[in-house]
Copies of this chain bind each other. A is one copy, B any other.
Amino acid sequence: MIPYPIRNQFRHTIGQLDMPPRLLLGPGPSNAHPRVLQALGMRQVGHLDPAFIKLMNEVQDLLRYAWQTENKLTIPVSGTGSAAMEATLANLVEPGDVVLVGVNGFFGLRLVDMAGRYGADMRQIEKPWGEVFELDELKTAVAQHRPTILALVHAETSTGACQPLDGVGDLCREHDCLLLVDTVTSLGGVPLLLDEWQVDAAYSGSQKCLSCPPGISPFTLGPRAVEKLSRRKTKVANWYLDMSLVGQYWGSERTYHHTAPINMNYALREALRLVAEEGLAARWQRHRETAVYFWQGLAELGLDCHVAEPYRLPSLTTVRVPDGVDPKAVTGRLLSEYNIEIANGLGQLAGKVWRVGLMGFNSRKENAALLLAALREVLA
């Protein structure tokens, strides 16, 4: 034995890993598809192995399908959704750039915080949480602020609102502005056509409608965004997320940047393979049908949705907490008695709504039926 003064106060003996069988119907993570969990545990190869490089190409193409984009720079970022969010800003923002963010929920505020750290001249327009921006409101704001980047949240995970993007791409092109869109809670579950809508930069998460565990996150930049990146006068102020380097590993050069999360890429491949098998049209339809079934059930329980129907996300529903009900007592009982996770409101909506996700593999009638039955009992 080597005579080092080893201390054992933290050398705990702990048991084999076990986790309760939760049904994850909150805003994410949602339960991974069983096939995805199986892929996750596949034996490893190196991050420059020919077998892994083949997988990288498959992941990139299937991401392009899921997002409906031809963007070359479409890759998974080696972190959770917030890392991909930050990657879009870190790469596109140079100090002094005017960035206009539509803030109608928690994740709009996060965009403001992040972009500010990269030296952006931040501008905001605001709407009450749960509402969306009209095209005319965006037109006025863009004309007034003349931003370099307009950032909108397509699917606000904190409010359950779906921001329409019709006409926004044209607006941004008229004003030579990049359109950056948060698709964390829409990719793979909600109609989303990046190229058709002329979105220049987008990011998402793996653990929402893609039914993959968190830890890897879709990221894409279109040609106009890549051009801005290539014209930067300053280094990207974030080494790990610097796409001028990461892009070389995912591009034809295959230059080592950081070790890719091998097994998370296995899982994402399987999740995207499931999307391609099902097809986007069928998948969007399934999410819609499950949501409509759930909304009808809520109405029968006398519960109201926070978001007006035309803008309501099928993947994430905010349910208003009835007067006199303690929202945390309800989520606590759902978890402890039924093994069902739903979430409480965040930020402005804390205490006012519950957040229910019916995403990816979890977007099935039986899950909605079970939650409705449990809610009926708990609220009785």
Contact = CB atoms under 8 A, between A and B. Distances in A.
Q: Is the interface of A mostly helix, strand, loop or mixed?
A: loop
A2 interface: yes
A282 interface: yes
A285 B1 contact: yes
Contacts of A256: 346
Interface string A247-291: 000000000111111111011011001001101111011001000
Interface residues of A, number: 103
A163 to B, nearest CB: 17
Given A1-B285, A6-B68, A276-B12, A240 B43 contact: no
Contacts of A173: none
A344 B79 CA distance: 27
A80 B258 contact: yes
Contacts of A116: 235
Contacts of A182: none
A240 B19 contact: no
Contacts of A214: 47, 259-263
Query: In the assembly, how many copies of this chain are there?
Result: 2
Contacts of A24: 44-46
Contacts of A258: 80-83
A114 interface: yes
Interface stretch (A34-42, A137-145, A148-156, A369-377): A34-42
B65 A10 contact: yes
Contacts of A82: 239-240, 257-259
A196 interface: yes
A237 interface: yes
A232 interface: no
A253 to B, nearest CB: 15
A69 to B, nearest CB: 9
A26 interface: yes
A297 interface: no
A49 B11 contact: no
Interface of A: 1-2, 4-14, 17-22, 24, 26, 28-29, 31-32, 37-47, 49, 51-52, 55, 58, 61-62, 64-65, 68, 70, 78-83, 86, 110, 113-114, 116-118, 191, 193, 196, 205, 207, 213-216, 235-241, 256-264, 266-267, 269-270, 273, 276-277, 279-282, 284-285, 288, 335, 341, 343, 346
5 contacts: A14-B269, A20-B51, A86-B238, A117-B238, A263-B267
